[in-house]
Amino acid sequence: MITLRPASQRGHVKHGWLDSWHTFSFGSYYDPQHMGISALRVINDDVVAPGAGFATHGHSDMEIISYVKHGSIEHKDSMGHIQQLPAGEFQLMSAGTGVTHSEYNPSQTEPLNFLQIWIQPDQLGIKPGYQQKRFAAAPMQLIASPAAENGALKLQQDARIYQISLATAESTELGGVSGRTLYLHMVHGDLEIENTKLSEGDGATLTDIGIFDAHSRHGGEALLFDLP
């Protein structure tokens, strides 16, 4: 079964310097029908004005993934990391026992657009950690997993994140494991699954679907979450 979450139905907030679309309930946006999927708690599509950003603030016991769509992030945290995260790279911060950080748009002329993703960990009170990596484009590329196999980022949850990158008229075969839930979020472009068409910002929950083809007419990129 495919349950579509259209981009236009997401929560939307504007704070002057921040224009954000929330797939699931977050901050002032609350919808009891959309509180997350399994361990996946947050997907925020944030546009940050030039020179603005999130001042130093704290997190604990959360796996926080950032993926830059356009621009770059200037990251600083209490673990001593001072990093630039450019478009196309992934950052995974395990908040664990507690970490503070700030995220800014270093450009004075161009907006920053990035995805902020939160996944609840399966173990609380771990030592905080930071990972950052760019992955080669592929029809289906493993980005994060609990075993960190094949160079993936290590995720503190029985979940896997895949990046799907399809060229014009390209397809890839995807498949679910019995008892698991798949959630797909469109980053840009288009994708079609079982006659369901998705475009930028759309999401879809896939349950009991077995093996299926994902096809793109004009090229597209998506993130696929394999969840417990």
pLDDT tens-digit map of 18-70: 999 999 999 999 999 999 999 999 999 999 999 999 999 999 999 999 999 99
Among 116, 130, 136, which residue's Cα sits nearest to residue 69?
A: 116
**Using an 8 Å Cβ cutoff, are 44 and 26 in contact?**
yes
What is the residue range of 208's domain? 2-227
Q: What is the pLDDT of residue 176?
A: 64
Query: How confident is the model over 122-148, as a mean pLDDT?
Result: 96
Task: CATH number of the domain at 71, please.
Answer: 2.60.120.10
Answer whether residue 175 shows pLDDT above 80: no
Determine the number of helices (DSSP H) and then strands (DSSP E) in the chain: 0, 21
Q: Which of 8-22, 87-101, 151-165, 195-209 has the lowest mean pLDDT?
A: 195-209
Q: What is the pLDDT of residue 61?
A: 98
CA distance 56 to 73: 14
Please tell me the total count of domains within the chain: 1
Interval 80-101: pLDDT, tens: 999 999 999 999 999 999 999 9
From its phi and psi, is residue 209 left (phi > 0), alpha (psi between -120 and 50) or beta? Answer: alpha
Rg (CA), the chain: 17
CA distance 68 to 167: 20
> Residues with Cβ < 8 Å from 104, sequence gap 6 or more?
48, 51, 52, 53, 54, 73, 74
In the chain, the amino acid numbered 48 is V
**Using an 8 Å Cβ cutoff, are 36 and 67 in contact?**
no
In the chain, the amino acid numbered 131 is Q
